[in-house]
Structure 1
């Protein structure tokens, strides 16, 4: 039996059956066994591909399977097998079918072995007969099935962006996310790190917008790269790198990162202030505080103090004591679906409403820690207006002593070339859209406390 496909199947089972995070399931699996670089890539491809394309694969399976109740293991064997048949051109049909049958022998019974063999070979013979919902008759159903996103989310995006832009967004989410890193300029120059990585035969290019960003390829394990171990960089999406720059704290100031874990933005704030400010990093989970400490230690950052505390209480604890406040609040994460393969299947409209309530509580409670003239940046990695514009607009409506402050001085010139984004950025907020800017979808707003 193929141990690579067996491992991929176990990871898919963990994600879709038990609710594990895809990245954690894959990383744990790859740490447990000695796989070659090619095997690691194949496992990752099967797991991420199957999870992301679940809707499409299940639609195809329903065309060829009349059986309503299928054992979970057999179901996931079929899902991974169909993914290989439909999406992986380099995998021979015989390999996809035969290895799936071998997995059915391990996890099923003689009847399920025949069932898996029959279904996959039937699909392989009749791929040309697979049809999807007509886009003209039902665009939401069409996009949901063909581009594998939940209907409620597709319907929402079609209403906001239209059919064409929604398809572009879904395609973006289904594509492979780039490996973007933020250079730790406290330790190394950008060009020096770039040369260092190139000398290790790692492909490197500069990111389009973030000045400290690089995109790297052709490496096996990020934590095995020498310059990573030395703390010369940290993994961070390009849009995420813009958040700390929009706060732009001054050297020697007191800064709060209220929802700080895992510390990528916190350490960026330290980097921007030359590690010469007093940065207080808060989170409500002890294990997440340890992640901040680990990242700070590896990067050589000394100016961060971590504390376990609810963001809502910071106004009471530090009233009018803080110069800069970062509120990168918990959110639905709809802007990071390219990176988080399983997330689209775990969210719903009700969760957005509940999160918006929490976010409003956080900005109301934490904002009072700012000194007069202090600066607040509110950010999320989602495009849901209920969590973004609605939260900050409601806050400003209730608190007349706070106002928007233009983002234009703090964002890359190239990003400001987008007229729609530039228009709102001048007012004090911006929405980065994955389908338009090829980054994670982030909302960022900058607010000043006047009195």
Structure 2
């Protein structure tokens, strides 16, 4: 591979924003890809994937480059040199890369790869927490899996097409996909591609949604004609799936505290042809109380640490702090206690997170059931990335007696 100056400088600029200004990696990459209209698909792929790779392995590369916790542009260049050297890429004769100790880099990599928290590029406290909650063996496998690049998974919008027809349509755009056993609406891309510019996406034939995430709406067991509440809808990925499972029949109320996210859901719903979704902003407790004892089904896709989706958000490893975890666990229990009251007698509730920590998952459900004897646990699913190959998730199906 030959390194091109304008592409590499873009990566360095992006890493500076992420490491030093707290910018989110996905937003930074999105802006970087608009920097030069002349870039082709290979150029864009280099910028995006290289940026994400160095963010993913930030601690390891920084330790090798002796620039840990000091992310000056000079040190970011040194981290880039580590990235390139470990991939066998010949470094060009640029001032910023002069004097790179290639042999030392490889030796340091071998040495530091024996220490899990450095090898997997995670903070000390997170490594300790993972062992505490999952055990040494499971945590070692899981954090390794969470550092692998995520597959691109599509969810077929069954309001408009079938999985088989969608696969045929995408093939016409030279996008090859494959079915995934056990996931009825999912297609996995065989190679990464820009899928948002083709007519299949613009026509609402699919959404991008990880396979594990697709299990959540399925577990809720919705039927056409029901009254369903998606209590923490966000931008609506699971609301759209629920609408499809309901065949556009019945009432689907999508709630969130952020009006901007619900506006995005409305836009996506129009593209998907999902007509039974009603959005409501949670401006006060009254919004929730009006729905007490009214819903056949309630989905609580609770705010969480997001540790199950680190493959997609590698910078989250450094943004999450221990005090946030404690706060979010309190929030989860509060939401579960209050929002569960929207379920009517005989109705069902799914509590879900994209976390792998039992303290955010099974333990939250156990705490809830201990003080709500009118609910029973029907089943729960713990999805680990190391076992499934997809995002880490948890979901529990409860029924109100």
TM-score (norm 2): 0.93
Report 1:252-331 matches (<5 A).
252-309=225-282, 314-331=287-304
* CA deviations over 1:390-416 (Å, ceiling 9, x no partner): 2111111111111112xxxxxxxxxxx
Supply the distance in 2 between the matched residues of 1:69 and 1:229 (Cα, whole angstroms): 43
Report SS of the residue matched to 2:252.
Answer: strand
Identify the residue that residue 6 of structure 1 maps to in structure 2.
9
Q: Which runs of 4+ in 1 moved over 6 A?
A: none
Supply the distance in 2 between the matched residues of 1:134 and 1:18 (Cα, whole angstroms): 28
Identify the residue that residue 42 of structure 1 maps to in structure 2.
46
Instruction: Indicate the larger mover: 157-166 or 441-450.
Output: 157-166
Aligned-pair CA distance for 1:72 = 1.9
Instruction: Kindly report the root-mean-square deviation, in angstroms, between the aligned alpha carbons of the 2 structures.
Output: 2.0
Q: Quick check: 2:351–2:395 contact (8 Å CA) kept in 1?
A: yes
Report SS of the residue matched to 2:146.
Answer: helix
Q: Which structure 2 segments of 5+ residues have no match?
A: none
* CA deviations over 1:392-444 (Å, ceiling 9, x no partner): 11111111111112xxxxxxxxxxxxxxxxxxxxxx21211111111111110
Report 1:116-155 matches (<5 A).
117-118=98-99, 121-122=100-101, 124-130=102-108, 131-133=110-112, 135=114, 142-155=115-128
Report SS of the residue matched to 1:325.
Answer: strand
Q: Quick check: 2:155–2:186 contact (8 Å CA) kept in 1?
A: yes
Identify the residue that residue 398 of structure 1 maps to in structure 2.
371
Supply the distance in 2 between the matched residues of 1:389 and 1:312 (Cα, whole angstroms): 26
Aligned-pair CA distance for 1:9 = 1.2
Supply the distance in 2 between the matched residues of 1:399 and 1:47 (Cα, whole angstroms): 47
Identify the residue that residue 83 of structure 1 maps to in structure 2.
83
The answer to whether 1:235 aligns with 2:235 is no
* CA deviations over 1:275-327 (Å, ceiling 9, x no partner): 11201101111211111112111111111011111696554121211111000
Match for residue 440 of structure 1 among 386, 391, 394: 391
Identify the residue that residue 148 of structure 2 maps to in structure 1.
175
Identify the residue that residue 193 of structure 1 maps to in structure 2.
166
Q: Quick check: 1:311–1:366 contact (8 Å CA) kept in 2?
A: no
Supply the distance in 2 between the matched residues of 1:361 and 1:311 (Cα, whole angstroms): 15
The answer to whether 1:166 aligns with 2:144 is no
* CA deviations over 1:147-206 (Å, ceiling 9, x no partner): 212222222223444444333223212211100010011101111111111222212011
Report SS of the residue matched to 2:396.
Answer: strand
Instruction: Give the direction of change, closer, same or farther, for the CA distance of 1:296–1:403 in structure 2 (3 Å limit).
Output: same
Identify the residue that residue 109 of structure 1 maps to in structure 2.
none
Identify the residue that residue 197 of structure 2 maps to in structure 1.
224
Supply the distance in 2 between the matched residues of 1:219 and 1:226 (Cα, whole angstroms): 17
Instruction: Give the direction of change, closer, same or farther, for the CA distance of 1:311–1:19 in structure 2 (3 Å limit).
Output: farther
Aligned-pair CA distance for 1:225 = 1.9
Aligned-pair CA distance for 1:217 = 3.9
Identify the residue that residue 25 of structure 2 maps to in structure 1.
22
Report SS of the residue matched to 1:260.
Answer: coil
Q: Which structure 1 segments of 5+ residues have no match?
A: 105-115, 136-141, 406-427
Report 1:393-432 matches (<5 A).
393-405=366-378, 428-432=379-383
Instruction: Give the direction of change, closer, same or farther, for the CA distance of 1:76–1:202 in structure 2 (3 Å limit).
Output: same
Supply the distance in 2 between the matched residues of 1:340 and 1:125 (Cα, whole angstroms): 31
How many matched pairs? 396
Q: Quick check: 2:113–2:119 contact (8 Å CA) kept in 1?
A: no
Q: Quick check: 1:378–1:446 contact (8 Å CA) kept in 2?
A: yes
Q: Quick check: 2:375–2:398 contact (8 Å CA) kept in 1?
A: yes
Report SS of the residue matched to 1:222.
Answer: coil
Match for residue 59 of structure 2 among 47, 52, 55: 55
